[in-house]
Amino acid sequence: WEVNTVRVTAMFITYMGSALGLIVCGFLDAKYAAYTFMVLTQVFYAAAQSGLGCIWSDVAPLYSSSLNSLANTIGAVAGIVGPIVVSAFVEAWPGVWGWRMAFLLTGGMCTVAMMLWYKYIKSEIRPELNTPAPLRTDVL
């Protein structure tokens, strides 16, 4: 397999497996079945380590730590915004439908993320992200 094929396959398992699991989870009435599907979505997210976890080194080996830090910072916004959105959904749709809408939104976000990944992310070194700036010797 080519590196890009491995990355796309891993992210397909991650995003689409999680999207499906979360949507099913939102429509289950049995709490232990819902717990099982919620745990399965986390299992699917483990596949991201073969996709998202490695893409920074594929694209820009010299700047992979900076790119990874930037992506983690942007991703942390979901940890702040997520509870606010879920709270608004539960308030707007009392009962089980508030949670169903939250799971549907998350499943939709996973689907959109997969489509964007497939269209734009390629596991090829990008020269513009991999060329170090020349050292300046005339500083002092």
- The pLDDT confidence band at residue 135, using thresholds 50, 70 and 90, is low
CB 105 within 8 A of CB 78: no
pTM: 0.78
Q: Would you say residue 133 has pLDDT above 90?
A: no
Note the pLDDT tens digit of each residue in 27-58: 999 999 999 999 999 999 888 887 777 888 88
What residue spans define the domains of the chain? Answer: 3-123
CB 25 within 8 A of CB 37: yes
Nearest to 46 by CA among 10, 20, 72: 10
CB 48 within 8 A of CB 117: no
**Token digits for 104?**
């549907």
Count helices and strands in the chain by DSSP H and E runs: 5, 0
